Structure 1
Amino acid sequence: MKNRLERAKEEIEKKGFEAILISQEVNVRYLSGFCASHSGSNLLITPERQYLLTDFRFLEQARRQAPQFILYQWKHPTERDVLELVREEGIRKMALEDSIPFSRYRKLKESLTQVELCPLRGFIEKFRQVKDQEELERIREAADINDKVFPQLLAMIEVGAREIDIANELEYVIKKMDAQGVGFETVIASGTRSSMPHAVATDKRICQGDMIKIDFGSVCQGYHSDMTRMATVGEPSEKLMEIYNIVLEAQLRALEEVRPGQECRKVDRVARAVIEEKGYGSSFGHGVGHGVGLEIHEAPRLSPTSNGLLEEGMVITIEPGIYLPGFGGVRIEDLVYVKKDGGEIISQTPKELYVL
């Protein structure tokens, strides 16, 4: 936490700001270690001091989790306290996260007439892209839970079982593994529903011959994992095997491109080219991957329009897919750690098509 805070302070000074106001919950946690959900807490950071603004309900927790911060208890409605503290500090030029609601920005602008307010895009998110060893360990723990529960998940899939029951049971099993819970709403998409990339579980029952797309993740101390595998109830059709093998080839080719300095869009392009060459280009409509950490979807993005480069220490997904309405869809997804000499696949579950 100390290193992250110092980096943020250095960047504030470099950009010529006297302070930055942090209000996004995930960024508050990243910089301070304080992790109370829906607390509405803020950080005010100057080159010399750092404040954590929260209310009475969270003071004890804040003292324990963020001892390096000066605690400032809300005494009034949120904005009034921020205004008072900014004035006390004599701040004249302050950065804000650009995700701040416009109504809040307008209120600050109207009240702090002597302060230059500068919304910044991706200020803390830029730091979060590269994981330190502690963050990497949390992600590995979450991925390990995925690997351990996957065989149990397969055992739940049988003709007549409802998708939603499988998803609920999976969440229970994940929590019993000492995870905080699932990282996002579990995708159990069977039959033709698998053509929808983010088709969450419903009350549809599994039928003989169904293909099933399984996309799930775990959370360990705030950090996420993400993995997608495919299964069928009974032997797969020839067409299913065709698109499965195309997606697998696209994923393997993209994995070969993962290394520091590589263009994010180049990784996407390599996977997309495989799918396009086989005539399914129009059936792959999302990017090939994204960063994973305190959020399940974070920078960097790996898509045709991405401008960034991969850096050592990033954790990303590689997840090409083919989606055919009325037939079904296939996606294969792994978590990948960007190392000096290439990409290390964190997910250990084999990428085979599981025939149940």
Structure 2
Amino acid sequence: MRKPERGRIIRLKRHMAESGIESLLVTERENVRYLTGFRGSAGIVLVASGRPCLITDFRYMIQARRETTGVAILIQKTDWTAALREVLVRSNVRSLWYDESSLPIDTYDKLKKAGLKLKKGGGLVAKLRRQKDVAELARIRKAIRRAEQSFLELRRYIKPDAVEQELGLRLECLMREKGSRRTAFDTIVASGKNGAMPHASVSTRRIKAGDLVTFDFGAEADGYFSDITRTVCVGKPSAKQRTIHGLVLKAQQAAIKAMYPGVPCKIVDDAARSVIQESGHGKHFGHATGHGVGLLVHEAPALSSHSNMTIEKGMVITVEPGVYIPGWGGVRIEDMVVVTDKGAKVLTTLPREL
């Protein structure tokens, strides 16, 4: 097992011991990769007293051996529940803790019928994933660089008569040329009045002089993602455009300044939201202020008024307030930060000016 994955298994086993968990079944794809390095789409991991056991099928036999070390590999003959029962019998395991968010109900029923005592695992791996280690941060930084370099190259094409759809495709191609095997999500290019839709789909609309254009995009690097948003003006911005942009930037800075280990996520959300509410645009900001990024582009924590989580050292989080005015357009600015003992350190470097 490579060093990052080995350290994660050690931390997981420590948390398991503290929680009285003897054996843990890991079924979510991202959690399997986090613990073993295995990238295949079909695989589960059993973590117990000895070496972790990765169960997969014939299609991934070679890949599993290439991508993992220090992990026992079992190739299933029929289905993985039968293979899992085989491992559990050999290990004399009668109680099995599982991730309640990702275990299919039919699989749960099969395991119950096999006589296993099933218990909820409490999302232990997901909790570990909130705090990024050195290897993860390096990959996230690489994904950020790929996205930022691509956007800088795109800037010369953002001009009157350019088509949203074509700009989005060009940006995605640029990110792929720089090594991104996929985009983090469907790229958003929202110009003019379309900018009032936070998750607008790219359209065939042609950009006009004076338009605000919002670009929301992200690249991939070694399985990790970036997520960045910039709103730019095609031409000279109007007084209202400058005011709204300045307001969103002020809200973002307030959230970043509020972010320290131990601070409730809802407090960070409120720091940004209160700035926008005090300006009279509270009804024009209706989504969360940010979210975690890692093996998934949207993961814990959420910077939301409904969140019960607190900020932790090592979290990588987006900060993305916005103002969306129907019939006019919108502004969103999104940056990625990593939480340190001294507060939030901004990882993204793209200029924020209109």
Q: TM-score, normalization: structure 2?
A: 0.94
Query: Does 2:207 correspond to 1:206?
Result: yes
Query: Does 2:15 correspond to 1:14?
Result: no
Task: Tell me how many residue pairs correspond in the alignment.
Answer: 349
Give the stretch that moved more between structures: 294-303 or 178-187. 178-187
What corresponds to 2:349 in structure 1?
348
Structure 1 unaligned spans of 5+? none
Q: TM-score, normalization: structure 1?
A: 0.94
Per-residue CA deviation, residues 264-283 of structure 1 (Å, 9 max, x unaligned), is 11111111100000111111
What corresponds to 2:93 in structure 1?
91
Give the stretch that moved more between structures: 156-165 or 326-335. 156-165
What corresponds to 2:298 in structure 1?
297
**Structure 2 counterparts to residues 1-356 of structure 1, below 5 A:** 1-36=5-40, 39-99=41-101, 100-109=103-112, 111-113=113-115, 115-353=116-354
Per-residue CA deviation, residues 120-151 of structure 1 (Å, 9 max, x unaligned), is 34321100111111111111111112221222
Q: CA deviation at 1:160?
A: 2.5
Structure 2 unaligned spans of 5+? none
Give the stretch that moved more between structures: 13-22 or 166-175. 13-22
Q: CA deviation at 1:183?
A: 1.2
Query: Separation in 1 of the partners of 2:170 and 2:325?
Result: 28
Query: Separation in 2 of the partners of 1:30 and 1:20?
Result: 15
Q: Which runs of 4+ in 1 moved over 6 A?
A: none
Question: RMSD across aligned C-alpha pairs, in angstroms?
Answer: 1.5
Matched-pair contact (CA < 8 Å) for 1:23–1:40: no
- Give the 3-state SS of the residue equivalent to 2:46 in structure 1: strand
Matched-pair contact (CA < 8 Å) for 1:22–1:96: yes
Give the stretch that moved more between structures: 12-21 or 219-228. 12-21
Query: Separation in 2 of the partners of 1:160 and 1:85?
Result: 62
Matched-pair contact (CA < 8 Å) for 1:13–1:47: no
Query: Separation in 1 of the partners of 2:163 and 2:79?
Result: 47
Q: CA deviation at 1:152?
A: 1.4
Matched-pair contact (CA < 8 Å) for 1:10–1:47: no
Query: Separation in 2 of the partners of 1:350 and 1:254?
Result: 18
Identical-pair percentage: 40
Amino acid at match of 1:138: R
Query: Separation in 1 of the partners of 2:286 and 2:134?
Result: 34
Query: Separation in 1 of the partners of 2:50 and 2:351?
Result: 50
Amino acid at match of 1:28: V
Query: Separation in 1 of the partners of 2:271 and 2:187?
Result: 28
Give the stretch that moved more between structures: 310-319 or 205-214. 205-214
Q: CA deviation at 1:85?
A: 2.3
- Give the 3-state SS of the residue equivalent to 1:44 in structure 2: strand
Amino acid at match of 1:308: M
Amino acid at match of 1:31: L
